[in-house]
Structure 1
């Protein structure tokens, strides 16, 4: 069955991946504050009212519980561990203690943030299997995604790049009454999060502009917050093979098979120029997928592998590299229909 250009959550095999996909926003079926200097005892001091993604004034008893957590830091690419004295640990509201404020840029409220994290059960302090990213690669969280996993957003929001801390989240701020039984978390468990803010993901490709040599290719007019305008030349010939041209040449890491990447994109039909999908549609955002894992159409895997973070790609996809003879199940892409995409490679943490 042909794949959607958007991931079908095939990469969500660990708790960390589930968290990343949930907190990154978007709908994969159709296609992935407080001052940075305040700690848990002083956050959001200006108001006792809190929005779903803003830390409330912590209760003294909650603050003490968080401050009593002992953290054993690890060196290199190893995850920290924790020790809890009074078990089970529970708080009434997500409560945070900043251990290091960081010295980088303050995180914008709508930023996509690269974060290393490790999660532990408040019941016994044991690590949640598959939740840590220190030994692999950071996940990307959308601070503007108010609809999912508010405890994660509350824990990170308002801080600086380089911040390091610990927070405790009640069930209502993470998995709710249903818990996450596949990872040993029931609906009554509080969770402890240790985190490091690594960076802010750019909103668009960054690098040197490149003019395609082939003048018969579709042209692109980029828009910062809306689907790009892609114009198909009137005399354009039906593509026989995959064509990938750089519009911006990035300077980041080269993407390899098996890397998880975050991209923004717009796709149009080659014949009509009609937009059929875009990460810029309302409720969407940068889209994650794992290169070479058949979670996207073949043309995407081939175009992105070997490219660099920061590249903007024009990708002309013949039907055999797209949805093939079947088209899409919903009929939005017809059988043997060719496609054109503009793709920004934003991150490959």
Structure 2
């Protein structure tokens, strides 16, 4: 009888030994087993949208790779690459948990959603999300681990619209919220200042002397011409200080004590506008349409 092939005999031996014991010399050696990967550090975030978030993680934080998690989703407009985003950011140094940035003590910052404006890393983190989202993002930057809470805030008024008032300019909005102000034909301009909420916000009231983030469009009553705006491609909301005599008087007074989230129409007669300065606008009645996006907390 012809003897079996040696390779066949060896395989049979392995099967027998393997059935008797899990520890078998016929299986892979310990040196051949895949090395276990170190567990990613646990980074958590708690708190409400109105409060400075609390970040929890081991210090010093060691990151083998970036960590990105959604604390909660948003239900507003989806952010658009190249478009404006209003970000409230809180950042800690993961080495010792010291605070690097706290927008809850000041105001959120507007950016364009581009790599040139905020870096390719944040463009990737924010893309595809909606206004209202809170994102936890931990990443090593220039050798320093940073832990960030990022809130995407609205870049337009988000409250309930009010009924237009007879004899006053009317307002329409496009899909992005950008307004068009139409002056009523043959209607004389008001001689007294007018403050009217076009959209009623539900946020905190704007304190006098505080920084406020706004969108605006400014129109001449006489012609309907837009002479200033923050709306449009490549443009951003601006930050101003109200109630500190730094702005046109009628504009300055009109925003104080109104709620964040409002869209406000301010009709400013010449005496409360640019004044007798020789400016071509000094004799104009001006219509400002202002979206109040955010305000610094009271000092």
2-side partners of 1:339 and 1:234: how far apart? 16
274, 293, 308: which one aligns with 2:259:
308
Paired residue for 1:233, among 154, 163, 185? 185
Distance in structure 2 (CA, Å) of the matches to 1:270 and 1:302: 20
Tell me what 1:346 maps to.
293
Which residue pairs with 2:138 in the alignment?
A: 166
User: Which shifted more, 339-348 or 270-279?
Assistant: 339-348
**Cα distance in 2 for residues equivalent to 1:302 and 1:322:** 11
Q: Distance in 1 between matches of 2:146 and 2:112?
A: 16
Q: In the alignment, is the contact (CA less than 8 A) between 1:113 and 1:197 conserved in 2?
A: no
Equivalent residue number for residue 199 of structure 2: 248
Aligned to 1:27: none
Alpha-carbon distance, 1:316 to partner: 0.7
Residue 118 in structure 1 maps to residue 91 in structure 2: yes
Q: CA, structure 1 residues 109+143, in 2 after alignment: closer, same or farther (shift >3 Å)?
A: farther
- CA 1:151–1:144: 2 relative to 1, 3 Å: closer
- Unpaired runs of 5+ residues, structure 1, are 1-63, 171-189
Tell me by how many angstroms 1:284 deviates.
Answer: 0.9
| TM-score, normalised via structure 1 length | 0.56
1:337 aligns to 2:284 (yes or no): yes
1:255, CA displacement in angstroms?
1.9
Distance in 2 of aligned mates of 1:156 and 1:252: 27
Pair 1:139 & 2:108 matched: yes
Q: CA RMSD in A?
A: 3.9
Aligned to 1:322: 273
Q: Give the CA deviation at 1:216.
A: 2.9
Structure 2, unmatched stretches of 5+, are: 1-37
1:267 Cα deviation (Å)?
0.9
Deviation at 1:336, TM superposition (A): 3.3
State the match for 1:206 in structure 2.
Answer: 159
Q: Note if contact 1:116-1:139 (Cα within 8 Å) is conserved in structure 2.
A: yes
Aligned length: 246
CA shift in 2, pair 1:247/1:133, >3 Å: closer
Paired position in structure 1 for 2:234: 283
* Cα drift, residue 116 of structure 1: 3.0
Question: Which residue is equivalent to 1:61?
Answer: none
Query: 2:230, 2:199 → 1: CA distance?
Result: 18
Moved over 4 A (4+): 70-86, 124-129
Alpha-carbon contact 2:199-2:264 (below 8 Å) kept: yes
Q: Distance in 2 between matches of 1:85 and 1:198?
A: 22
Distance 1:299 1:152 in 2: 42
Does the 8 Å contact 1:326/1:336 carry over to 2?
no
CA distance in 1: counterparts of 2:268 and 2:257, whole angstroms: 17
The structure where strand makes up a greater share of residues is: 2
For CA contacts below 8 A with separation 6 or more, give which structure has more relative contact order. Answer: 1
- TM-score when normalising by structure 2: 0.64
CA distance in 2, matches of 1:312, 1:73: 32
Change (3 A) 1:233 1:285: same
Counterpart check, 1:196 vs 2:149: yes
